[in-house]
Amino acid sequence: MLSRIIYCTAVLLATIAVILLALFSPQPYRKNLTPFVALSFYIRQPRVTGPEASPVEPPPPPAGALIFHHTLTEGPENTSQVVGKAQGFIIPVESFAHSAFNIIYLTIHTNQYSGSISIQAKSLIHKEREVLGIVGGTGSFAFVRGLAVFAKTDEAIYHIKLHLKFSNGS
């Protein structure tokens, strides 16, 4: 009889605990509550210092591949805070112009966002201003879509404006 009372009490306490947890547990944490976000960054060539520093090399010939690893900063100044990096692999040859390999990856680490954004670079025309499509991301930018506007501001600096649209489940 005593074991039956203990068993019923344990079941009752477990049921009460489940109900209380369901009623008073905190909501899941979400970083992005707004479905649209606009961000602005600057892409700069890496700073090379010391005796091995050499002048900026000319761009590769049109038939070669363009592989780059640049710094992503908050502003255009040399003293701007570095918030990530921009990396890419682009084959500007006409037969590869619409290749899935032509992607620019932005990796961003700020107080508000942490993750990466994939930008499709299929339609590069090498103008002073390019509008490219965002095809996905990771971390804070999971499943993001939108546009990336690249504008050349200096010989070694690009201003990038990101117009992001998050999916409903973000």
- Is residue 53 domain-resident? no
pLDDT at 126: 64
- Is residue 5 domain-resident? no
What total of structural domains would you count in the chain?
Answer: 1
Start-end of H helices in the chain: 2-24
Q: Give the integer Cα–Cα distance in Å for 61 and 67.
A: 13
- Is residue 11 domain-resident? no
pLDDT, tens only, 99-136: 556 788 999 999 999 999 999 887 666 677 888 899 98
More confident call, 14 vs 59:
14
- For the chain, give the number of residues: 170
- Is residue 76 domain-resident? yes
Q: Is the pLDDT of residue 27 over 80?
A: no
Does the pTM exceed 0.85? no
Q: Specify whether the CB–CB gap between 126 and 9 falls below 8 A.
A: no
Q: Is the pLDDT of residue 17 over 70?
A: yes
- Is residue 15 domain-resident? no
pLDDT at 170: 45
* Residue span of the structural domain in which 65 resides: 29-48+59-165
DSSP string, 93-137: SGGGTT-TT-EEEEEEE-SS-EEEEEEE-TT----SEEEEEEEEE
pLDDT at 130: 85
More confident call, 50 vs 103:
103
pLDDT, tens only, 75-95: 988 889 999 999 987 776 665
* CATH number of 151's domain: 2.40.480.10
What average pLDDT does the segment 4-33 reach?
73
- Is residue 68 domain-resident? yes
What average pLDDT does the segment 57-85 reach?
78
- Is residue 18 domain-resident? no
